[in-house]
Amino acid sequence: MQKMKAAFLYADRSKHIEIENVAKPVCKQNDVLIKVSACAICGTDGRMYEGTKDATKGSSPQIRGYGKGKFIIGHEIVGIIEEIGSEIKNQEYEVGSKVILVTSIGCQKEECRPCREGNYNMCANNQPIGYYYPGGFAEYILVQDRAVKQGVIIPVPNESHVSDEHLAMVEPLSCAINGQSYLNIQRGEYVAVVGAGPIGLMHCLLAKAKGAKVILAEYSEERLEKAKEFGFDHYIPTKDTDLIQNISEITKGEGIDVGIVACSVSKVAEDLLVAMAMKGRLSFFAGFPKQNSVLKLDGNIIHYKEVSIYGAFASNKAQFGEALKLIVSRKILMDKIVTHTFPLENIVEAMEKMLDKKGNALKVVIKP
């Protein structure tokens, strides 16, 4: 029996990950086995590590996993095809080729509208990789039959010279693309993003690429200082100054055309609504804390200014493909986004580095 190293998160103990030698997954006739090249740490992974988010999503053990309460998480995955099941006839898949993986796996039933439309991330029975299925913090990941059938494997173009660490950014960038798909950002418009974490910065990069004037607001002094390396148009330190007043001064009283809430703070959503321009578009990109998710919004602002409000959750395969093209073509650069890499054995140190809000880490990548 062949073995592999895997990082197991124990769901009943906070901040408890152990590296173990376990059986390498067996590739059955409808599966594809991937050797993991890189898997980035998502903020959600960090919350599961801390114990503030349920890793089980109500399902334990993982499907063809390693036992009750032992979770391999990680869903921002790049790898090399190691083995292809005998029943798989997809000509795009070749042993030795580099691929990325779409996270969401829907029920794929004909009566399910999201799945029928290809929006598997919106399926009520979505079973994502890294939650229901073992994820990428291991030497190998098995893409199981249902995921293969859905087409979650996306080949990386052969001409790509982008590093594995940067390719691991396809998943988070695809989420930002999904969030902006509703917003119709135009050249010269004011776009305000609140939250200078990796996702907020990706939103800024996308908006800047569309010719927008980008305003980035952030509470953490350390994060805001780090974000200044990106050279956006305006920066607002919300710890010491008023967000609404700053936006009014920057836009000469007209307000912002687009607002993106990229932090889990309810008041930010309320304040950005006040700061909107006529016909502004407001995105609630980040989720809000369950205990404080009910917002107080002035309906008259929405009515008289004709403001549109949108939500965004995860992404679909088409948006993964768009993100991959942007990164491979280097139209969106990840050089300043990816700040640290760690071997699998040092995943605990990597988690702590990512969670340190006063540190200099943005995206942290594990390379098994």
Nearest of 167, 75, 76 to residue 130 by alpha carbon: 75
DSSP 8-state assignment for residue 236: E
Residue 64 lies in a domain: yes
**Which of 276, 292, 311 finishes a domain?**
311
Distance, in Å, from the CA atom of 62 to the CA atom of 72, rounded to the nearest integer, reads 8
Residues 6+ apart with CB under 8 A from 161: none
pLDDT of residue 115: 96
Residue 71 lies in a domain: yes
Query: Domain check: are 231 and 165 in the same one?
Result: no
pTM (2 decimals)?
Answer: 0.96
Q: How many domains does the chain have?
A: 2
pLDDT in tens, 339-365: 999 999 999 999 999 999 888 899 999
Residue 357 lies in a domain: yes
Query: Domain check: are 114 and 260 in the same one?
Result: no
pLDDT in tens, 123-155: 999 999 999 999 999 999 999 999 999 999 999
Nearest of 198, 333, 327, 187 to residue 258 by alpha carbon: 187
Across-strand partners of 343?
Answer: 367
Task: Give the number of C-alpha atoms closer than 13 A to the C-alpha of residue 64, restricted to the C-beta side.
Answer: 17
Query: Domain check: are 124 and 251 in the same one?
Result: no
Residue 136 lies in a domain: yes
| 41 burial via Cβ count (<10 Å: 0-12, 13-18, 19+) | buried
For tokens 């990706």, the residue is: 202
Instruction: Please report, for the domain that includes residue 275, its CATH number.
Output: 3.40.50.720
- Residue range of the domain that includes 262: 183-311
CA distances from 255 to 192, 212, 269 (A): 10, 14, 15
Query: Domain check: are 74 and 145 in the same one?
Result: yes
pLDDT of residue 291: 85
DSSP 8-state assignment for residue 337: T
pLDDT in tens, 220-259: 999 999 999 999 999 999 999 999 999 999 999 999 999 9
Across-strand partners of 367?
Answer: 343
CA 30, 33, 39, 45 torsion: positive or negative?
A: positive
Query: Domain check: are 146 and 44 in the same one?
Result: yes
Query: Domain check: are 201 and 104 in the same one?
Result: no
DSSP 8-state assignment for residue 136: S
**Which of 311, 335, 355 finishes a domain?**
311
Query: Domain check: are 273 and 330 in the same one?
Result: no
Instruction: Please report, for the domain that includes residue 354, its CATH number.
Output: 3.90.180.10
Residue 178 lies in a domain: no
HEC string of 151-203?
CCEEECCCCCCCCHHHHCCHHHHHHHHHHHCCCCCCCCCEEEEECCCHHHHHH
Query: Domain check: are 305 and 319 in the same one?
Result: no
